[in-house]
Amino acid sequence: MILTPETLQEFDREIAKYPAGEQRSAVMACLALAQRELGWLSPETIEFVANYLGMAPIAAWEVASFYNMYDLAPVGRHKITVCTNLPCALSGGVHAAEYLKKKLGIGFDETTPDGKFTLKEGECMGACGDAPVLLHNNHRMCSFMTKERIDQLLAELEKQ
Amino acid sequence: MSAHALILAGLDGDRTWRLQDYVARGGYAALKKIVAEKTPPDAIIAELKASGLRGRGGAGFPTGLKWSFMPRAFPGDKYLACNSDEGEPGTFKDRDILRYNPHAVIEGMIIGAWAMGCTRGYNYIHGEIFEIYRRFEEALAEARAAGLLGRNILGSDFSFELFAHHGYGAYICGEETALLESIEGKKGQPRFKPPFPASFGIYGKPTTINNTETFASVPFILGMGGEAFLNLGKPNNGGTKIFSISGHVNRPGNYELNLGTPFAELLELAGGIRGGRKLKAVIPGGSSSPVLPANIIMDCTLDYDAISKAGSMLGSGAVIVMDESTCMVKALERLSYFYHEESCGQCTPCREGTGWLYRVVHRIEHGLGRPGDVDLLKSVAGNIMGRTICALGDAAAMPVQGFVKHFGDEFAYHIEHKQCLVPRGVQDAGSQIYVSPSC
Ligand SMILES: Cc1cc2nc3c(=O)[nH]c(=O)nc-3n(C[C@H](O)[C@H](O)[C@H](O)COP(=O)(O)O)c2cc1C
Ligand code: SF4
Ligand code: FES
C-alpha cells in the first residue's frame, strides 16, 4: 500500500459521486489526492490509482499527462506557479515571475538545489483582477503579489 | 458593483455564501414556489425564453431554447452540467459567483433539473481555484442537509443529486464536450458534434451544459418574471451581465451591469485608465474576441448585438483594457502562445496552425519578421477558421485577425524597423508587459 488509509477514504468519497460502474470518473480526483500525499505522480502511483479504479494504467497515464497540474516528475516542496497570461501581464504578472526567478535563482521548470522551491509558468487562473497572482502547491491562490508580498510568502514558506 | 446588480447584490458580509444568508436575501423562494405549485416544465422554459437570457459562457446561445432541446420522455438518467471551468484569459466572474453566492448556482441548477427532468448534475470547477471548489462542496452539503438536494426535494417526489468535479489545469475542458469527456475520466478532447449533448452527453445520456452565471441568473428570472429581467437589458439582450474588467484600469474587478450599458460607464466604474494615460484598445469578451481600438469601443454599448456589430464578441464579458503604452505585437504574441499551448492536438489545422501563428508573431516581435508575414498571419488564421472540431481553433484565429486588422501598422513597423512603434520609454513607464528591454 503506497497511500494512507485516510487518502483511500477520500478516494471512496470521490468514487461515490459517480453512478455505479462509472468509478473511472474519479480518476482526476484520485490522481490529485495521490499527488497531494506523495508530492508527484510516479508510474507506480498512477498504476496504483488505475488498479484501484479498475481502469487500464495507460488510461490513467493519459489523464495524468494531459492536465497541467499533475507533476510527472518530482518537484520542490513548494511549487509556485505564476500566471503570465496577457491580462495578468498588463498588471505586473511578468514582473512577479522575473522577481521570483531572481530571488530563487532558478528559471521556469527548475527546482532550487535544496529541493525547496520549483517555479512554473501558468496560464489564466481565472483571477486576473487580482494580478499578479500565483498558486502555491496547486491549492492556495495568492493575490496581488507585489515584491513585498512575494518576500513575505517566501519567508513564510522557507520556515516550513 | 452597480445599483442594478442581481447576482452580486447584497454580497457585503463574509458569510454571504452560507445557506442562511442566501435565504435571508430571498434565496430558494423561486424553487420552493415551483415545488409547491408543481409548476409545469413548459412554463419555466417559457419564462426563460421571455427573459431573453443568453448563455453567459461565451457563445450567447438562448438558454430557454437550449433547455427545450432536452428529450422529454427519456427513460433513465438525464444529466445537467455546470461549466465553472473559467479559463478564458480575462474572465474571473464565475469564481466570484461561487465564492460569494454559490447557492444561486445550486438553486438555478435544481430549477433546471426540474424543468428538464434531470436526475444528476455536476459542477465542473476550474483546477486552479481549489479553495472555491471546497467552498462549493460545503454549500452542497448545506443544501442536502436542508432537503433542497437529493431524494424527494422539499418533500416532493422530485429527486436530483448534484456534485462538484474538480478540473486540473486544461483550458480546453471549458469547451462543453471536452468537459463531458473530462467528467467521464478521460483526456479533455472535444467530441464531434452531432450528436449534440442533449441527445448524447455524460455517459451517453441526454445532458445540458450551462455556464455558472447562466444558472445563477435563473432564480432571479423566476423571481422577478422573464419580462422584467428582459427589460433590465434590451431586446434580444435581456438582464444583467457581470463584466470582469482587467488590465490598465485603476480598479479591476467584477461589475454587474444591465446589458446595453455604455462601455464608457464601465470604464468609469473601474476608475479609468491607470496613470492618466490614454485608452488604446480593448478586448471586449475574453481573449478570443477580436480587439477593438479605443474610438470604436468608446462608442459601444455592452451587449451581444452592439459588440458584434462593432466586429467583435461580448463572449464571456471579460473586458481587457490596454492603454497607449502597450505594444500590440507583444500582446498578441502572449495570446498566441496560450492558444498553441492549450490546443488539444486532435485537428491538424488547430495543432499546426496555432504553432505557426505563434512562431510568426514571435519572430515579428523579436525583430526577425519578414516582408509578407502579415499576409501569412492572415492566411494561416483564415485556414484555421471553421475547419476544426471545436471552437478553440477559431478562438486562436480571431485575435490574430483583430490585431492585424486594427493595428496592422504596428506589425508592419516591427517588420521594417526591427523595433516597436511605441517608444521603449513609454512602454516601460506604462504597459508592464516587459521586464527587460527586448523589443
Ligand atoms: C476553447 C473553449 C473554451 C471554453 N471555455 C468556457 C468556460 O471556461 N466556461 C464556459 O462557461 N464556457 C466555455 N466555453 C463555451 C462552452 O463550450 C459552452 O458554450 C458553454 O459552457 C455553454 O453554456 P452557456 O450556454 O450557459 O453559455 C468554451 C468554449 C471553447 C470552444
Ligand atoms: S480545434 Fe484544437 S482544441 Fe479543438 S478539438 Fe481541434 S485540436 Fe482540439
Ligand atoms: S490572466 Fe492571470 S489569472 Fe487570468
Tell me what the mean pLDDT of segment B95-99 comes to: 98
Who has greater pLDDT, A135 or B438?
A: A135
DSSP SS3 for B25: coil
- pLDDT tens per residue, range A66-92: 999 999 999 999 999 999 999 999 999
Q: Does residue B267 surpass a pLDDT of 60?
A: yes
Residue A124 CB less than 6 A away from ligand 3? yes
Tell me what the mean pLDDT of segment B358-376 comes to: 96
Residue B345 CB less than 6 A away from ligand 2? yes
Quick one: pLDDT at residue B143? 98
Distances (CA, A) of B216 to A4, B47, B110, B114, B346: 39, 15, 11, 15, 33
Rounded Cα–Cα distance for residues B436 and B78 (Å): 54
Q: Does residue B436 surpass a pLDDT of 60?
A: no
Angle at Cα B88 formed by Cα B82 and Cα B136, nearest 5°? 35
Q: Which amino acid is it at B342?
A: E
Q: Which of B437, B433, B246 is nearest to B332 (CA)?
A: B433
A40: confidence class by pLDDT, cuts 50, 70, 90: very high
A126–B287: do the CB atoms touch at under 8 Å? no
* Residue ranges per structural domain of chain A: 5-66, 78-158
Question: What does residue B242 show for φ and ψ, rounded to 5 degrees?
Answer: -90, 125
B435: confidence class by pLDDT, cuts 50, 70, 90: low
For B94, the grid coordinates are 464565475
**Is this prediction's pTM over 0.95?**
yes
User: Does the fold of domain A78-158 match that of domain A5-66?
Assistant: no
> Which ligand ends up closest to the CA of B62?
1
For B353, the grid coordinates are 496552425
Q: Helix A43-53 vs helix A27-38: angle between axes, to the nearest 10 degrees?
A: 140
- pLDDT tens per residue, range B176-185: 999 999 999 9
CA of B91 to the centre of ligand 3 (A): 8
Question: Percentage of residues in chain A with pLDDT exceeding 90?
Answer: 98
CA of B215 to the centre of ligand 1 (A): 13
Quick one: pLDDT at residue B426? 83
- Locus of grid cell 479553495: B131
CA of B108 to the centre of ligand 1 (A): 17
Tell me what the mean pLDDT of segment A104-130 comes to: 98
**Does the complex come out with an ipTM higher than 0.90?**
yes
Distances (CA, A) of B277 to B95, B181, B283, B423: 30, 46, 18, 15
A122, A97 in Cβ contact below 8 A? Answer: no
Quick one: pLDDT at residue B429? 77
Quick one: pLDDT at residue A119? 98
B1: confidence class by pLDDT, cuts 50, 70, 90: very low
Q: Is A144 on the interface with B (CB under 8 A)?
A: no
Best B86, B246, B361 member to test A by mutation, with max A CBs in 10 Å, is B246
| Fold (CATH) for A78-158 | Glutaredoxin (3.40.30)
For B240, the grid coordinates are 444583467
Please list every residue in chain B whose beta carbon sits closer than 8 Å to the beta carbon of residue A120: none
Q: Is A78 on the interface with B (CB under 8 A)?
A: no
Q: Is A112 on the interface with B (CB under 8 A)?
A: no
B255, A97 in Cβ contact below 8 A? Answer: no
Quick one: pLDDT at residue B50? 97
- pLDDT tens per residue, range B126-169: 999 999 999 999 999 999 999 999 999 999 999 999 999 999 99
CATH number of the A5-66 domain: 1.10.10.1590
Question: Percentage of residues in chain B with pLDDT exceeding 90?
Answer: 93
**Mean pLDDT, chain B, as a whole number?**
95
Quick one: pLDDT at residue B263? 98
Quick one: pLDDT at residue B439? 38
B294: confidence class by pLDDT, cuts 50, 70, 90: very high
Q: Does residue A13 surpass a pLDDT of 80?
A: yes
Lowest mean pLDDT among A106-120, B313-327, B333-347, B423-437: B423-437
- pLDDT tens per residue, range B98-128: 999 999 999 999 999 999 999 999 999 999 9
